[in-house]
């Protein structure tokens, strides 16, 4: 799992619902919910890099990651129309809470989002050169 910081006041991993618990390994090893939130966040970052904010300030990186991930959760929650809407609502509420309060979680999954976008931009630059 994720190494613990001495000053970290976040809840232990096993206190979160199973769908929100991080697993050892890459994004492909994570739960469906975490993967879909990351992929939605990647789409948001790609769109905003092109249409709104090409150079987000690095000193605000954590804030930017949190905002993008929360926006991804909001968009996915709005799309949710399944039969298990009550259960999904509870998961999205818990995920929203975790993203708002758990810096380590945001840093961990935000890394996958940013690394994916960076890889895409590097491939684009290679193609253009």
Closest by CA position to 37, among listed 75, 73, 88, 84: 73
The span from the first CA to the last CA of the chain, in angstroms, equals 40
pLDDT of residue 64: 83
Q: 45 in a domain, yes or no?
A: yes
Quote the number of domains for the chain: 1
Q: 3 in a domain, yes or no?
A: no
Q: 14 in a domain, yes or no?
A: no
Q: 99 in a domain, yes or no?
A: yes
Q: 106 in a domain, yes or no?
A: yes
Task: Tell me the whole-structure pTM to 2 decimals.
Answer: 0.68
Q: 110 in a domain, yes or no?
A: yes
Q: Average pLDDT, whole number, for the chain?
A: 78
Q: Which residue's structure tokens are 């979680």?
A: 105
Query: For residue 114, what are the domain limits?
Result: 28-128
What contacts 123, CB < 8 A, 6 or more positions away?
Answer: none
Q: 48 in a domain, yes or no?
A: yes
Statement: residue 117 has pLDDT above 80: no
| Lookup: tokens for 42 | 């990647």
């Amino acid at each position: 799992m994720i190494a613990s910081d001495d000053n970290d006041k976040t809840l232990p991993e096993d206190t979160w619902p199973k769908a929100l618990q991080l697993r050892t390994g890459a994004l492909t090893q994570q739960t469906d919910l975490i993967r879909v939130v990351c992929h939605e966040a990647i789409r948001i970052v790609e769109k905003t890099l092109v249409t709104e904010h090409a150079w987000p300030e690095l000193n605000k990186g954590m804030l930017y990651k949190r905002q993008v991930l929360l926006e991804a959760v909001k968009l996915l929650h709005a799309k949710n129309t399944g039969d298990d809407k009550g259960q999904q609502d509870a998961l999205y509420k818990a995920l929203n809470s975790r993203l708002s309060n758990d810096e380590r979680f945001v840093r961990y999954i935000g890394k996958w989002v940013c690394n994916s976008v960076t890889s895409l931009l590097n491939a684009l630059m290679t193609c253009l050169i």
